[in-house]
Structure 1
């Protein structure tokens, strides 16, 4: 049985929602660590970078979910062509196909 586009989109939506939850949990934990005297064992610069990465992950994932609900998900913002499904399976928040990603 082959997957339909709807099935793949639903699978990718579930993946994005799971990633959103993971990034949110990570940000919560890092924020708590930042309030500890020892910063949870991280030096302040590393902790700041980890927090920024978690925030970026939340933002990227939220934008991908918004594109999905708007019907623009999987379309390259550079060239307007469909982003190949294997790329979306690896990086579900991808905004660009590989050639356009390399150009930016």
Structure 2
């Protein structure tokens, strides 16, 4: 496979990923709006708190991935600077580290 075809396929994948992440950002923003609406029931506030936290974390991860895409840093490990394998990014699109660095970072 020529480099030009490889680069074109990668760009197509990145464009599709950007579209998916943007849609997911909109969906998570709408979810957060719903979760933070005041229902007047204090018991609901307690049960919704973990969902609100998870949604905010998801939004932060999506924002980070979109920022890295815009800056041309997407898919590059923030620790060692090596490329993060596409397979990892397909499973975890917001991945900031390659697997070895993630394992070291988690310790």
TM-score normalised according to structure 1 size:
0.84
Which residue among 11, 14, 31 is the counterpart of 2:36? 31
Tell which structure's C-alpha radius of gyration is larger. 2
Look up the match of 1:66: 67
Moved over 2 A (4+): none
Mapped to 1, the partners of 2:87 and 2:30 lie a distance apart of 27
Q: C-alpha separation between the residues in 2 aligned to 1:42 and 1:79?
A: 44
Deviation at 1:37, TM superposition (A): 2.4
- Count of residues paired in the alignment: 100
The superposition leaves residues 63-82 of structure 1 with CA deviations (integer Å, 9 ceiling, x where unpaired) of 11111111101101111111
What root-mean-square deviation, in Å, do the aligned CA atoms of Structure 1 and Structure 2 show?
2.1
Higher RCO, 1 vs 2 (CA within 8 Å, ≥6 residues apart): 1
Query: Is it true that 1:21 corresponds to 2:26 in the alignment?
Result: yes
Structure 2 stretches lacking a partner, 5+ long: none
- Please say if residues 16 and 93 of structure 1, whose CA atoms lie closer than 8 Å, have aligned partners that are also in contact: no
